[in-house]
Amino acid sequence: MFTIGQLAKTAGVNVETIRYYERQQLIEQPDKPLQGYRRYPEETLYRILFIKRAQHLGFTLTEISSLIELSQGHCSDVQHLAENKLTAVRQKLKDLRRLERSLKSLIDECRINPDEAHCPIIESLVPEHKTMP
């Protein structure tokens, strides 16, 4: 059993994170005894570590909440959620690769730009037929 401070330290989060998880109903807040401090069971530590690992994989707290709910159900439901996340990650990677190519191209244009008064990067950000304010 842990106090909130011990739980936070053991889980590697701060106390406010634990309170936030409680408000988001990701973990349960234990009843407060008449005297003393709330005591969190070891299962709460495991839940927080689960949440942190899922966040590290890119799951949002909303998705993590769904994972927690689905953990009592069928693996195929969890698989479906993970497949959706993988699709989103692949789209982000595709977008990042496109951004990388665009930035590389603009940097290359700057390297060969003979006119120091005009910057290809800045000009690419200004709508056509407009000048910088």
Could you read off the pLDDT of 28-81 as tens digits, one per residue?
Answer: 999 888 888 899 999 999 999 999 999 998 899 999 998 888 888 788 888 998
What is the rounded CA–CA span in Å between residue 97 and residue 54? 24
Q: Residues, the chain, total?
A: 133
- Residues 93-116 have a mean pLDDT of 92
pLDDT confidence of residue 23 = 95
* All structural domains of the chain with their residue ranges: 1-72, 75-133
How much is the pLDDT for 81?
87
pLDDT at residue 125 in the model = 84
Residue 130 has a pLDDT of 59
Q: Give me the residues paired with residue 2 across strands.
A: 40
CATH (residue range 1-72): 1.10.1660.10
- Judge contact between 51 and 65, C-beta under 8 A: no
105 closest CA partner among 127, 128, 132, 123: 123
pLDDT in tens, 9-18: 999 999 999 9
Tell me what pLDDT residue 21 has.
Answer: 96
- Determine phi and psi for 121, rounding to 5 degrees: -65, -50
* Start-to-end CA span in the chain (Å): 61
